[in-house]
Amino acid sequence: MNSKKDLLSNCIEGFQFARALAAFELERSTPLDISIEPLGKDFFARVCGVSFKSPPSGGVKKTIVEAINKYSVLVFPDAAPTEEEHLAFGRAFGELQLTSSSVSGKRKRRIRAEFADVSNLDLNGRVLPADSRLAHNKQANQLWHSDASFRKTPSKFSFLAGIRLPPSGGETEFVDLRAVWDALPEKTKQECEGKIAVHSLLASRRRVGFHDFNEEERAAYSHAPHPLARVHPGSGRKCLFVGSHADFIDGNDEVTGRQFLDELLEFATQERFIYSHKWTPGEVIMWDNRCVIHRGRPWDMSVIREMRRVTVDGDGPTVVDGSIVPGI
Ligand code: OGA
Ligand code: MN
């Protein structure tokens, strides 16, 4: 027969075992019901088994962070989050950025301020005329960019949910800037090292024909310095941090700097680096803006394309007083 003492020690052992099991569940690298299937070599993966019904728990979040650090872009099929679920999922990874309604002025929004309205719909949910100012402005999404690199603290993760999608066109394309860096000629790498590119919303909007910014907008979005050779904190790998918001290079004359940036972006967006995604409604795509550029592709603008995005803010400015901040 067990003595009281034995019973107590069995109880304690049982409790310790349960705790150890719970810790194991939390810590083990991939919870059993999640599968990660790379669709490119080491870039872009499909993640099945993650529910958006509640924010990711410790083990699930850890798995997602490890996967994004490795693959840079993750697609979650059948996620179909409600607005609340979408916000809560994004918030699990950090503070959300409020979108600026900058170029279009202080306009009313179709959806709440934490969402980027990636749609061709007006306030009443009707298709925007393709030649309207707002539709035209949104076309800047079709230029290669990293979200909000025109801010001193640029974005970390984006979560874009596909809601209503056109039958053809409207794909989203991605480039992993780490692979681009690895492929750069040694001489070009040396030319990029230590250089600071100044990003600006004005630069990308200029490319789609917008010039009229007010003083407030100019001040807010015109001078965001970022290293051209940026170390991606999630993997420790270097990436070529370019995109259509990059305007000029600190210390270079404007034309030379811009030419160099154009050449680099052309190199980065060669076919061999691009992964093109054809959307299925209900999918959410997460990407890491610290090492990925992306763009939307054209579609028949008389057809609805409705998506919304939440964006997690970066950890701080990448450059302070002219010096590159490590680990951002
Ligand atoms: C975005 C974006 C591209 C697209 O949501 O940040 O750039 O395909 N989207 O609409
Ligand atoms: Mn974008």
Q: Which pLDDT value is given to residue 102?
A: 46
Ligand 1 center to 35 CA (angstroms):
25
Q: Which pLDDT value is given to residue 1?
A: 43
Q: What percent of the chain has pLDDT over 90?
A: 77
Ligand nearest to the backbone CA of 161: 1
Mean pLDDT of 245-264: 97
Atom of ligand 1 nearest to the CA of 296: 8
Higher per-residue confidence, 305 vs 218: 305
For atom 8 of ligand 1, the residue with the nearest CA is 296
Check whether 8 has a pLDDT greater than 70.
no
Inter-CA distances, 259 with 40, 61, 256, 265, Å: 31, 41, 5, 10
Q: Which pLDDT value is given to residue 11?
A: 52
DSSP assignment, residue 139?
G
Minimum mean pLDDT among 95-104, 162-171, 174-183: which range? Answer: 95-104
Ligand nearest to the backbone CA of 310: 1
CA dihedral 286, 316, 227, 91 (to 10 degrees): 0
Higher per-residue confidence, 11 vs 42: 42
Alpha-carbon 306 to chain mean position = 18
Atom of ligand 1 nearest to the CA of 171: 8
Ligand 2 center to 24 CA (angstroms):
37
Q: Is 245 in the pocket of ligand 1 (CB under 6 A)?
A: no
Higher per-residue confidence, 9 vs 262: 262
For atom 4 of ligand 1, the residue with the nearest CA is 296
Ligand 2 center to 141 CA (angstroms):
6
Ligand 2 center to 14 CA (angstroms):
51
Atom of ligand 1 nearest to the CA of 145: 7
Q: Is 166 in the pocket of ligand 1 (CB under 6 A)?
A: no
Atom of ligand 1 nearest to the CA of 173: 8
Check whether 160 has a pLDDT greater than 70.
yes
SS3 89: helix
Mean pLDDT of 135-155: 94
Minimum mean pLDDT among 5-14, 75-84, 149-158: which range? Answer: 5-14
Residues with CB under 5 A from ligand 2 (ion): 147
Check whether 210 has a pLDDT greater than 70.
yes
At 305, the pLDDT band (50, 70, 90 cuts) reads very high
At 60, the pLDDT band (50, 70, 90 cuts) reads very high
Given a contact cutoff of 8 angstroms between Cβ atoms, the answer to whether 164 and 281 are in contact is yes
Per-residue pLDDT tens for 12-29? 566 565 565 555 444 455
Q: Which pLDDT value is given to residue 294?
A: 98
Mean pLDDT, the chain, integer: 91
